[in-house]
Amino acid sequence: MTRKHRACALLIALPVLAPLAPVQAQTLAARPSRAMTIAVGEATKDFTQKQVAILQLAAHAAATAQLCDGISLDDAAVEKSVGDMMTEASQGVSEQERIRLHDLALVTFGALSGLALGEATRNEAAYCKAAKADASDPEKFAFLRLDPPKK
Protein backbone atom coordinates (compact mmCIF):
# COMPACT_ATOMS: atom_id res chain seq x y z
CA MET A 1 0.00 0.00 0.00
CA THR A 2 1.49 3.35 -1.01
CA ARG A 3 1.45 6.47 1.11
CA LYS A 4 -1.20 7.97 -1.16
CA HIS A 5 -3.38 4.93 -0.60
CA ARG A 6 -2.95 5.22 3.16
CA ALA A 7 -3.91 8.91 3.02
CA CYS A 8 -6.96 8.10 0.90
CA ALA A 9 -7.97 5.37 3.33
CA LEU A 10 -7.76 7.87 6.16
CA LEU A 11 -9.79 10.38 4.20
CA ILE A 12 -12.51 7.82 3.73
CA ALA A 13 -12.40 6.39 7.24
CA LEU A 14 -12.24 9.53 9.31
CA PRO A 15 -15.60 11.05 8.41
CA VAL A 16 -17.08 7.83 9.70
CA LEU A 17 -15.09 8.14 12.90
CA ALA A 18 -15.73 11.88 13.31
CA PRO A 19 -19.12 11.42 15.01
CA LEU A 20 -17.21 9.71 17.81
CA ALA A 21 -16.43 13.24 19.04
CA PRO A 22 -19.91 14.52 19.85
CA VAL A 23 -18.90 16.91 22.63
CA GLN A 24 -18.04 19.76 20.30
CA ALA A 25 -21.22 19.25 18.31
CA GLN A 26 -23.18 20.62 21.22
CA THR A 27 -21.24 23.89 21.13
CA LEU A 28 -20.94 24.15 17.31
CA ALA A 29 -17.16 24.10 17.51
CA ALA A 30 -16.69 27.58 18.97
CA ARG A 31 -13.14 26.42 19.49
CA PRO A 32 -11.06 23.59 18.04
CA SER A 33 -12.39 20.23 19.08
CA ARG A 34 -10.24 18.00 21.23
CA ALA A 35 -10.02 15.72 18.21
CA MET A 36 -8.49 18.53 16.15
CA THR A 37 -5.97 19.33 18.87
CA ILE A 38 -4.92 15.68 18.86
CA ALA A 39 -4.89 15.55 15.04
CA VAL A 40 -2.42 18.44 14.76
CA GLY A 41 -0.46 17.44 17.88
CA GLU A 42 2.34 15.59 16.10
CA ALA A 43 2.49 18.10 13.24
CA THR A 44 3.03 21.05 15.59
CA LYS A 45 6.32 19.47 16.68
CA ASP A 46 7.77 19.61 13.17
CA PHE A 47 5.84 22.23 11.24
CA THR A 48 5.48 25.97 11.74
CA GLN A 49 2.14 27.64 12.40
CA LYS A 50 1.99 28.66 8.76
CA GLN A 51 2.67 25.11 7.59
CA VAL A 52 -0.02 23.69 9.89
CA ALA A 53 -2.38 26.41 8.61
CA ILE A 54 -1.76 25.23 5.04
CA LEU A 55 -2.75 21.70 6.08
CA GLN A 56 -5.84 23.07 7.86
CA LEU A 57 -6.92 25.11 4.84
CA ALA A 58 -6.18 22.34 2.34
CA ALA A 59 -8.10 19.85 4.50
CA HIS A 60 -11.13 22.13 4.83
CA ALA A 61 -11.01 22.81 1.08
CA ALA A 62 -10.90 19.07 0.31
CA ALA A 63 -13.87 18.47 2.62
CA THR A 64 -15.79 21.37 1.07
CA ALA A 65 -15.16 20.16 -2.48
CA GLN A 66 -16.36 16.68 -1.52
CA LEU A 67 -19.50 17.94 0.16
CA CYS A 68 -20.72 21.01 -1.69
CA ASP A 69 -22.17 21.02 -5.20
CA GLY A 70 -20.74 23.64 -7.53
CA ILE A 71 -17.41 23.93 -5.71
CA SER A 72 -14.19 22.19 -6.73
CA LEU A 73 -10.76 21.97 -5.28
CA ASP A 74 -8.23 24.20 -7.00
CA ASP A 75 -5.76 21.36 -7.47
CA ALA A 76 -2.98 23.57 -8.83
CA ALA A 77 -3.19 26.02 -5.91
CA VAL A 78 -3.23 23.23 -3.32
CA GLU A 79 -0.37 21.36 -4.97
CA LYS A 80 1.75 24.50 -5.13
CA SER A 81 1.12 25.54 -1.52
CA VAL A 82 1.61 22.06 -0.08
CA GLY A 83 4.62 21.46 -2.36
CA ASP A 84 6.26 24.72 -1.29
CA MET A 85 5.46 23.92 2.33
CA MET A 86 7.11 20.51 2.13
CA THR A 87 10.17 21.93 0.36
CA GLU A 88 10.53 24.53 3.09
CA ALA A 89 9.96 22.03 5.91
CA SER A 90 12.46 19.57 4.41
CA GLN A 91 15.32 22.01 3.95
CA GLY A 92 18.55 20.62 5.29
CA VAL A 93 17.12 17.33 6.51
CA SER A 94 18.07 13.80 5.51
CA GLU A 95 16.08 11.76 2.99
CA GLN A 96 14.76 9.59 5.81
CA GLU A 97 13.57 12.67 7.70
CA ARG A 98 12.05 14.13 4.54
CA ILE A 99 9.97 10.98 4.07
CA ARG A 100 8.88 11.10 7.72
CA LEU A 101 7.77 14.72 7.34
CA HIS A 102 5.95 13.85 4.12
CA ASP A 103 4.08 11.01 5.84
CA LEU A 104 3.29 13.20 8.83
CA ALA A 105 1.83 15.90 6.57
CA LEU A 106 -0.30 13.35 4.71
CA VAL A 107 -1.64 11.73 7.87
CA THR A 108 -2.40 15.13 9.43
CA PHE A 109 -4.11 16.26 6.23
CA GLY A 110 -6.23 13.08 6.21
CA ALA A 111 -7.22 13.46 9.85
CA LEU A 112 -8.10 17.14 9.46
CA SER A 113 -10.11 16.44 6.30
CA GLY A 114 -12.18 13.87 8.15
CA LEU A 115 -12.82 16.22 11.03
CA ALA A 116 -13.71 19.07 8.66
CA LEU A 117 -16.17 16.84 6.84
CA GLY A 118 -17.70 15.77 10.15
CA GLU A 119 -18.11 19.40 11.22
CA ALA A 120 -19.48 20.50 7.85
CA THR A 121 -22.16 17.83 7.70
CA ARG A 122 -23.71 19.06 10.94
CA ASN A 123 -25.11 22.05 9.09
CA GLU A 124 -24.43 21.26 5.47
CA ALA A 125 -26.55 23.99 3.87
CA ALA A 126 -25.06 26.83 5.89
CA TYR A 127 -21.57 25.45 5.48
CA CYS A 128 -21.84 25.20 1.69
CA LYS A 129 -23.40 28.64 1.43
CA ALA A 130 -20.47 30.18 3.32
CA ALA A 131 -18.00 28.11 1.28
CA LYS A 132 -19.48 29.40 -1.98
CA ALA A 133 -19.06 32.97 -0.82
CA ASP A 134 -15.43 32.27 0.06
CA ALA A 135 -14.73 30.37 -3.16
CA SER A 136 -15.95 33.28 -5.25
CA ASP A 137 -13.29 35.52 -3.75
CA PRO A 138 -9.72 34.27 -4.32
CA GLU A 139 -8.43 36.92 -1.91
CA LYS A 140 -10.51 35.32 0.79
CA PHE A 141 -9.65 31.74 0.06
CA ALA A 142 -7.42 30.44 -2.69
CA PHE A 143 -7.92 26.67 -2.52
CA LEU A 144 -11.45 26.49 -3.90
CA ARG A 145 -13.05 27.52 -7.16
CA LEU A 146 -16.62 27.70 -8.31
CA ASP A 147 -17.61 25.31 -11.07
CA PRO A 148 -18.78 26.96 -14.27
CA PRO A 149 -22.60 27.15 -14.47
CA LYS A 150 -24.19 24.11 -16.10
CA LYS A 151 -25.75 24.80 -19.51
Partner 1 sequence: MKTTAWCVVASLAATCALTPAPVLAQRSDRYAIDACSSAVDREIGRRYSQAGRTQLLSNDTRSIGYDETGVSGRAQFADNGGWTQFNYDCIYNARTGATYGLDIRNLNHGSSDDDKKKNANAAAAVIVGALLAGAIVASAKKKDRHDDDRSWSPSRGVECYPRESACYENGSFSRYWTKRIYYR
Residues that bind partner 1 in the complex, under the rule CB under 8 A: 27-32, 36-37, 40-41, 44-46, 48-50, 52-54, 56-57, 60-61, 88, 91-94, 96-97, 116, 119, 127, 130-131, 134, 140-142
Q: What is the radius of gyration, based on Cα positions, of the chain?
A: 16
Nearer to partner 1, 2 or 96 (CB): 96
Least distance CB 147 / partner 1 (angstroms):
18
Mark residue 26 as left, alpha or beta (left: phi above 0; alpha: psi -120 to 50; beta: remaining). alpha
Taking the least distance from each CB to partner 1, the nearer of 9 and 48 is 48
The closest alpha carbon to 115, from 5, 25, 1, 4, belongs to 25
| Torsion, CA 14, CA 20, CA 23, CA 29, rounded to 10 | 10
Is the Cβ of residue 79 or residue 97 nearer to partner 1 in the bound state? 97
Residue 9 or 41: which CB sits closer to partner 1? 41
